[in-house]
Each structure stands twice: as structure tokens, then as C-alpha cells.
Amino acid sequence: MSAEGSGALSNNGQIVVSGLTKQYRNVRAVDNLSFVVEPGRVTGFLGPNGAGKTTTLRMVLNLVSPTSGTATISGHRYADVAEPLKLVGAILEASAAHKGRTARNHLRCVAAVGGFPTSRVDEVLELVGLTTAAKRKFRGYSLGMKQRLGIAQALLGNPQVLILDEPANGLDPEGIRWMRGLLQGLAQQGRTVLVSSHLLSEMEILADDVVIIAAGKLVTQGPMESIVGQGTTQAAVRVRTPNIQELVAAVREAGGAINPGSNGAHLVTGLDAPAVGKLALQSGVELHELVAEKPDLEHVFLELTQGRAAIR
Ligand SMILES: Nc1ncnc2c1ncn2[C@@H]1O[C@H](COP(=O)(O)OP(=O)(O)OP(=O)(O)O)[C@@H](O)[C@H]1O
């Protein structure tokens, strides 16, 4: 291995997945998958259940050996990195610790094994908001606290790259907001942050880039704005009116379609918001709401993964 391979910050932190494939006996969990994750950005790794996300992350971290293909971090396979904990911090599931041990003692043990200074333990406890709970025994920790402890552990080596599988699991809304701030802050420091999640609305706020896979294959990847803009979902205009019959007639005559939406609203497609407003005015229809709905990540995700979302 080269000298640069041992240094955590010696290379750029890019993750490159190239032709990665994992064949289990009956299932091709990951199928010729290629994508790149850039430093300085939060990348959301998305896919329906059984898409192969966890298997991919495990292959990147050398916990599962690929059938074919490669995954590198800063140009090196994880297995070839001399001090991997200084290069990559990862949580693949909520942290496990000895039940009778406190969070501080647990992290001290991990720090000792990893060769990190003990002072780093209190720093990471502070970073994840566990300082006041540091002396409590692990057995009393909620799932959210375990997630925070997992992140603290991942950050012990001050790694260039963070890989987190479903880190928001078990967090309450305040915890999710906290996690967003933490991960975005880490990316702003130039780190690579790769996060898998099922929470698409949260991902839309959190991630700069997206990689979407389904049935082991790449569906799309790119910056969040361009992925969301990729949705061919016909943009709808949400309207609310006490004169629905007149509006339905006017919309249909103008070549649009109108269907009931949620909470008494209706959704117009085939016409844009100014056209619907003008039609309403011309037809003497009173409007209580006129909103152009934008495609969001959830719409685009469902559209792109439709038919490939079978749970395998
Ligand atoms: N050790 C294994 N042996 C056999 N099949 C496996 C193994 N691990 C995963 N699989 C299968 O590979 C496929 C991909 O699983 P994986 O856990 O990677 O998907 P995922 O995208 O992380 O799913 P989820 O979002 O549900 O966690 C699934 O069909 C799963 O059943």
C-alpha cells in the first residue's frame, strides 16, 4: 500500500463504486452498480426495500466481499487502508455496547482500541449532545440515544468520510433536525457524507446529491435539484372553490383535467396556474386557493422506481 493510503486526509475522500455486484444464492442483491460520492456534500443513498443499499455499503466497508467490481475510498479499497477508522466513520445499525457500561466508558474503550486520545471522547459526546447522559448505563438508552452514540463512535477518529445507514431511525423530530445540522456541518468542513434513508422528505432537505438504486441497479444519480426536476410527473395545480361544477366544466372545455384531491381540494392537470386563474375569472368562479404543486423527491422516487420496488 502507498504511503498516502494510510493518511486519513491525504486524499480527497471520494467514494467510487465501479461495477459492483453481489450475487447471493438466489438473489443478485447488487447488480453492476457504479456511482461516485463527492466530498464536501451530503449524498443521499435511496432505494426501495431490498434494493441493495445495505449490501452496497457493506461492500464499500469490506464487510461483504463483492462477487465482482470494486469500491474505493480516496482511491483505496477499504481493506488496504492502514488506519481505516481515521479515514471512515460508519454506522450500519444503531450502536451496540455492553449494557452495563456507560456511554463514556464505551467510547473510551473504542478510543483505546483505535489509538485515539481519551480527550476525543468528551469532544464527540458534546458533538452528539450526550454529555449529560455520558454517565448513564447503555441499558437505559433509547434508540435515538443509541443512534447518537453510534455517531459519536463514528466521529472518534475525526474521519474524512462518514457512511451512515438509516441514521435517523428512532430519532424524534428534534433529533432529526439535529442530525441534519450535524451532517450538513460535517459536509461543509469538506467531509464526504453518505447517508441511506427511507425518509424522502427529510432527504430532500438534507442531501445535496442523490443516488437512487432499485433491484440492485442504479436508477439515477446527481444533484438533488436536477433529480427532482427530472420528474415527468405532470405538475398539478391545486384549487379550492365553492363553485366546483362551473370550474370542472371550464377546465374540461379548455382541454385540462380536474380530479378531487385531499381535504376538499381539486387537482388540475394539463393547464398551468395562470391559465386556471384566468379561466376561473372568465367563468365567474370564486377561488379560495390556487397553488402550483411542484414535483418533490417522493413523487420522482416513486415514478423512477415504479415496477422495480418489489420487496425481494
Ligand atoms: N446475507 C444474505 N444472504 C442472502 N440474501 C441476502 C443477504 N443479505 C441481503 N440479501 C438480499 O439481498 C437483497 C438486498 O438486501 P439489502 O439489505 O442490501 O437491501 P436494502 O436496500 O438495504 O433494503 P432495506 O431498505 O429493506 O434495508 C434483498 O433481497 C436481501 O434479501
Task: Check residue 12 and give its pLDDT.
Answer: 87
40 Cβ contact partners less than 8 Å away, ≥ 6 residues apart: 187, 188, 190, 191, 192
Which residue CA neighbors atom 30 of ligand 1 most closely?
Answer: 50
Cα 10 off chain centre by: 26
Residue 50 CB less than 6 A away from ligand 1: yes
Say if CB 212 and CB 49 are below 8 A apart. no
Beta bridge partners of 45: 196, 211
β-pairing verdict for 266-269 and 237-240? antiparallel
Q: How far apart are CA 201 and CA 177, in angstroms?
A: 12
Q: How far apart are CA 190 and CA 143, in angstroms?
A: 29
Residue 29 CB less than 6 A away from ligand 1: yes
Write out the H or E segment, with its range, that includes residue 91.
strand 88-91
The half-sphere exposure of 164 on its side-chain side, counting CA atoms within 13 A, is 34
Which residue CA neighbors atom 16 of ligand 1 most closely?
Answer: 52
Nearest to 102 by CA among 135, 146, 150: 135
β-pairing verdict for 192-196 and 42-46? parallel
Residues in the chain: 312
Q: How far apart are CA 25 and CA 31, in angstroms?
A: 14
Task: Check residue 311 and give its pLDDT.
Answer: 46
Q: How far apart are CA 191 and CA 2, in angstroms?
A: 22
Terminal Cα distance for the chain, rounded: 38
Task: Check residue 234 and give its pLDDT.
Answer: 62
The values of phi and psi at residue 101, to 5°, are -95, 150
Task: Check residue 142 and give its pLDDT.
Answer: 83
Task: Check residue 140 and give its pLDDT.
Answer: 78
- For residue 49, the ligand 1 atom closest to its alpha carbon is 26
- Dig out the grid coordinates for 21 from the structure: 455486484
Q: How far apart are CA 80 and CA 58, in angstroms?
A: 15
Which residue CA neighbors atom 8 of ligand 1 most closely?
Answer: 55
Segments of the chain scoring below 50 in pLDDT: 1-10, 311-312
- ipTM of predicted complex: 0.96
Mutate to test the pocket of ligand 1, among 25, 27, 217 (most ligand atoms within 8 A of CB): 27
Q: How far apart are CA 212 and CA 217, in angstroms?
A: 9
One-letter amino acid for residue 28 of the chain: R
Say if CB 124 and CB 186 are below 8 A apart. no
Which residues in 159-308 belong to E strands, given as ranges?
Answer: 161-165, 192-196, 209-214, 217-223, 237-240, 257-260, 266-269, 289-292
Alpha-carbon separation of residue 283 from 247, 254, 260 (angstroms): 7, 12, 20
One-letter amino acid for residue 79 of the chain: A
Q: Domains of the chain by range and CATH?
A: 3-227 (3.40.50.300), 237-294 (3.30.70)
Task: Check residue 10 and give its pLDDT.
Answer: 45
Residue 157 CB less than 6 A away from ligand 1: no
Task: Check residue 11 and give its pLDDT.
Answer: 56
Task: Check residue 308 and give its pLDDT.
Answer: 64
